[in-house]
Amino acid sequence: MKNVGIYYFSGTGNTLRVCKLIKEELEKLDAQARLIDLDAPVGKADEPENFDVFAVAYPVHGFNAPQIVIDRLKDFPQGDKDYYIIKSSGEPAPANRDSSHQINKILGKKGYGMMDEFHYVMPYNMIFRHSDEMVGMMWARALQAAPCDAREIAEGGRGEIKQKLRHKFISRLFMLEHGGMRVIGRGFKVDMKKCVKCGKCVKNCPVQNIAFDGEKFTFGKKCLGCVRCSFNCPTGAIRISVLEGWKVNGAYKIEAAEYDEAKVCKYCNKSYKKYFTAKGGNSIEKQK
Ligand SMILES: Cc1cc2nc3c(=O)[nH]c(=O)nc-3n(C[C@H](O)[C@H](O)[C@H](O)COP(=O)(O)O)c2cc1C
């Protein structure tokens, strides 16, 4: 029985949903899978040597992996296990393709072997809110792809990843996003007229960047831009500085969303069509 470790970071739950789906599919194939949340440092018992193979899962942030994922992987010991990448993003945009380059460099230097990447398009948690119909289509596609991807992991399949020069260029250029978010994050504000002082934002921030002294909120210098705070704020009280116009507040009902292709907006229908009509799994080579 194959024992798979799935290390994940999920700002607002999309990536976690995909990981849970793949875990369920692995278990149907008689493999064992354990989800390890990268919000916290990885303990000895969860290190890659405890698994036959592992996966690293993350939401694409500015055509790259979030800083917290990179930092946690830097702490991994040397090893020789194979790994897969599972990533979720709001668009099937080809520029998302090379978002794992930092991860692959870090893990490659430590001796780990990259096998394949799986790219799941999930609802945007920033920029604009996807319609329920689009969300339904994304989830339907995820349900279709996950069994194939799980099988590939269970069987030790390998994908041939060739990145185009222009995608490499875009993701390297957007590495500036990490530093940018640390600056922008300091400018987040809470509208105290709306705030119900539930403390969710303070408790759930993955990098403990938010403090509340009973009267005033302070946002520190460590923001990842994962938007967990503003996305989950029950009253939409958190203003995300210059990104306010792109804010998406409130969870999607992904599993319950209706699938109705006829209702999908023109832009989405065109740019996402290839992704929705792809056959088999979500190995990025199949989505060229
Ligand atoms: C700061 C930030 C940057 C993002 N950058 C991209 C991007 O470059 N490409 C993309 O397709 N989606 C992008 N997204 C959308 C997320 O990748 C997408 O909604 C993802 O499924 C969120 O996963 P999560 O709920 O696990 O955090 C971005 C979201 C945030 C908050």
| Distance from the alpha carbon of residue 86 to the mean position of ligand 1, in angstroms | 13
Cα–Cα distances (Å) from 185 to 114, 150, 237, in that order, read: 33, 36, 15
Please give the model's pTM, rounded to 2 decimal places.
0.95
pLDDT of residue 163: 84
User: Going from the N-terminus, what domains does the chain have, and what CATH number goes with each?
Assistant: 3-171+268-287 (3.40.50.360), 177-246 (3.30.70.20)
206 lines ligand 1 (CB under 6 A): no
Minimum CA distance residue for ligand 1 atom 20: 89
pLDDT of residue 235: 98
Longest dimension (CA), the chain: 55
Q: Give the ligand 1 atom nearest the CA of 60.
A: 17
CA gap 44, 162 in Å, rounded = 33
13 lines ligand 1 (CB under 6 A): yes
| Cβ count within 10 A of residue 43 | 8
Radius of gyration of the chain (CA): 19
Q: Give the ligand 1 atom nearest the CA of 121.
A: 21
CA gap 282, 288 in Å, rounded = 11
95 lines ligand 1 (CB under 6 A): no
Q: Are 215 and 183 in contact (CB under 8 A)?
A: no
Low-confidence ranges of the chain (pLDDT < 70): 259-261, 263-269, 285-288
